[in-house]
Structure 1
Amino acid sequence: MLLGRPWGRCHPGRCALFLGLALLLDTLGLALLLVGIFAALDYWDFLVYTGSVILAFSLLLWVIWYSLNIEVSLEKLDL
């Protein structure tokens, strides 16, 4: 229901660039975070903090993608 038809083909919406960037940052941030936690490295704290910051930026992109995909009809806007 979020992107239109309830049982239709799923599509990324109007802003596929933000969706792709959010997914890329999610993957990169999670990989850095997990390597920082589980690998025995001297610079583990850098990886954990960098992964967390990248995940925070990906959340910002998710909010932008969701906000730009909201569809409101003209009748509900009272224009």
Structure 2
Amino acid sequence: MLLGGLWGRCHVGRCAFFLILALLLDALGLVLLLLGIFAVLSYWDFLVYTGALILAFSLVFWVIWYSLNIEVSPEKLDL
């Protein structure tokens, strides 16, 4: 049995653009951060700080993606 079968259907939601953007920013930030930590470069601090800022900025897109995918039934909205 697949893991997706345990909890229901797996899908990215209605806002795949924000998910892809958040994943790309996570990957870029992680690469810059690790490059700044492990590479012997004279500008390592720029890479570490830039990677950390990009990772922090990606959280904005994760929150947007999550917020736009919340489903509330019309009965709970009292419409």
> Does residue 45 of the first structure (1) align with residue 45 of the second (2)?
yes
Question: How does the TM-score come out when normalised to structure 1?
Answer: 0.89
Instruction: State the distance in 1 between where 2:8 and 2:20 align.
Output: 23
Q: CA deviation at 1:54?
A: 0.4
Q: CA deviation at 1:11?
A: 1.0
Structure 2 unmatched ranges of 5 or more: 1-5
Match of 2:7 in 1: 6
Instruction: State the distance in 1 between where 2:39 and 2:14 align.
Output: 39
Instruction: State the distance in 2 between where 1:7 and 1:54 align.
Output: 32
Match of 2:26 in 1: 26
Give the RMSD, CA atoms, in angstroms: 1.2
Aligned length: 74
Structure 1 unmatched ranges of 5 or more: none
> Does residue 56 of the first structure (1) align with residue 61 of the second (2)?
no
Deviations 1:23-69 (A, max 9, x none): 00000000000000011100000000100110011111000000000
Question: How does the TM-score come out when normalised to structure 2?
Answer: 0.89
More helix by share: 2
SS at match of 1:51: helix
Instruction: State the distance in 1 between where 2:17 and 2:57 align.
Output: 15
